Amino acid sequence: MRNSSQLCGLNLLVWLGPNYSPLTPRPPRLEDHEILLKFQDPASRNLAFNQLVRKYQRKVYWHVRKMVVDHDDADDLTQDVFIKVWKHLENFRQDAALFTWIYRIATNECLNFLSSKRRKFLLPLTDVGAELAAKIEADPAIAGDEIELKLQQAILRLPDKQRLVFNLRYYDEMPYEQMAEVTGTSVGALKASYHHAVKKVEDYVTRVTAD
């Protein structure tokens, strides 16, 4: 796990301001268009980015965590996401919603991480799924909940991109149109992928429950 106090060579206290302390009252939450406007001004850029991180870091973390399972990996990747957001936000064209754009970055980071891990250790898809399933079984948040454990085991047996589609639709309840912007996939293909994913999950849960 990398040092969480540094991002892109910037100390987190720079984002929060030189007079920040945990007891400092948080400023009112800004709307996305206000964040983007303030980010364009060098005088308010750090404040704007701090607002963006506060607003979206939890959602990004859990989006990533559902894909990579491990907390430390998810924490590192979440930092990587916001590093890229910091680097490229100035050139954000606003042809999509801000959060959709951030989700797209997070999604690419997840898929690249899983692909890189598979190549690095020469692991087939099933072995990566088994490794993630073992981490799920050890997760205290799930321990003792047999139904949730079986559901998570079923989801982890899906191919990465199909698992992504399932998570976006089932957990995030994201509209297909927004999913298309995040994944770069047509609505029709996403609907088909989600349908197949649901069928695989249902079949697995039914089979292991019967056993």
* pTM over 0.75, yes/no: yes
Average of pLDDT values for 144-156? Answer: 81
Mean pLDDT of all residues belonging to the chain: 82
pLDDT-derived band at 16, boundaries 50, 70, 90: very low
Residue at token pair 């797209």: 104
φ/ψ (deg, to 5) at 140 = -65, -20
Tell me 24's DSSP state: S
For residue 152, give every residue at least 6 positions away whose Cβ sits within 8 Å of its Cβ, in sequence order, or none.
133, 136, 142
Residue at token pair 């206000």: 34
Q: Are the C-beta atoms of residues 2 and 15 closer than 8 Å to each other? A: no
Digit-coded pLDDT (tens) for 55-103: 999 999 999 999 998 889 999 999 999 999 999 999 898 888 999 999 9
State the angle between helix axes of 98-120 and 71-88 in degrees (0 to 180), rounded to the nearest 10. Answer: 130
